[in-house]
Amino acid sequence: MDIAGSYADIGAIERTRISTNPKLELVDEPKPYAEVLVELLPTSDGGRAHAVVLDDAGYRPHLRVEGGDYLGVEFVDGPAEPLIPGQKSYATVRFLYWPEVCYEALTVGTSFEILEGSRVVGRGCVTRR
């Protein structure tokens, strides 16, 4: 018996089984999170009056890509210190309404505005999905 041939056959069987398993096809779906680089506008430019904590689940603004829909997010990870108006930081956001709402507009490199209600309080870009 050819051992190398046996392993090749097993590999082919495994690849077929994996590629036809509908549950495993979900691996390539977008995740409900994104890493972003954000900058809060200074208060003098219409930004927030106070700092915001980005490292816990509590800050829930909307992101808007180039005049598009408001996309609800929740900041779930970020700097340990509150981010004050005028500062930049990396953070992680969770897509609040995924998969019911499409977040495909938030691809790597895409710029967005951060909104509280209709007021723009910051800007950012997606660094990783």
Full set of structural domains in the chain with CATH: 29-128 (2.40.30.10)
Q: Pairing relation of β-strands 88-95 and 119-128?
A: unpaired
- Could you tell me if 41 and 50 are in contact, meaning their C-beta atoms sit under 8 angstroms apart? no
pTM of the model: 0.76
What's the pLDDT at 29? 58
**pLDDT averages per 10-residue partition of the chain, 129 residues:** 42 42 49 95 96 90 94 96 97 96 96 97 97
